Amino acid sequence: MKLSGELQAPQVNELWQRRAEWWQDDELELGDVTTLDSAGLALLVKWAKATLARGATPRLVGASRDFHTLANLYGVADLFQSTPPNTEDA
């Protein structure tokens, strides 16, 4: 699933309502996320824990420096495997 735009409280509420569409994905693309707050991080933590509970590894592609700063601040960075965005040119 590719997330984009703001990942803050109003958007988190909408994503939570639609979680059946993406909750089973092991990988989320965050390269187009412009802002992230603690509500956005909390949603990603819940998703990561659900992913780990099914025996999979939660992977984030293109997570911003802000994400990493917030995840480290809250002590949850180790829940995620993070990779830079795929920038291969055809």
Over the stretch 9-25, which tens digit does the pLDDT of each residue have? 999 999 999 999 999 99
Reported as a single tens digit per residue, the pLDDT across 22-48 is 999 999 999 999 999 999 999 999 999
Question: What number of other Cβ atoms are within 10 A of residue 25's Cβ?
Answer: 15
Q: What is the chain written as a DSSP string?
A: -EEEEEESHHHHHHHHHTGGGTTT-SEEEEEEEEEE-HHHHHHHHHHHHHHHHTT---EEES--HHHHHHHHHTT-GGG-EEE-------
- Tokens 């909408």 correspond to what residue? 14
Q: Where are the domains of the chain?
A: 2-83
Fold that domain 2-83 belongs to in CATH: Transcription Regulator spoIIAA (3.30.750)
Longest C-alpha distance within the chain, in Å?
Answer: 38
pTM of the model: 0.88
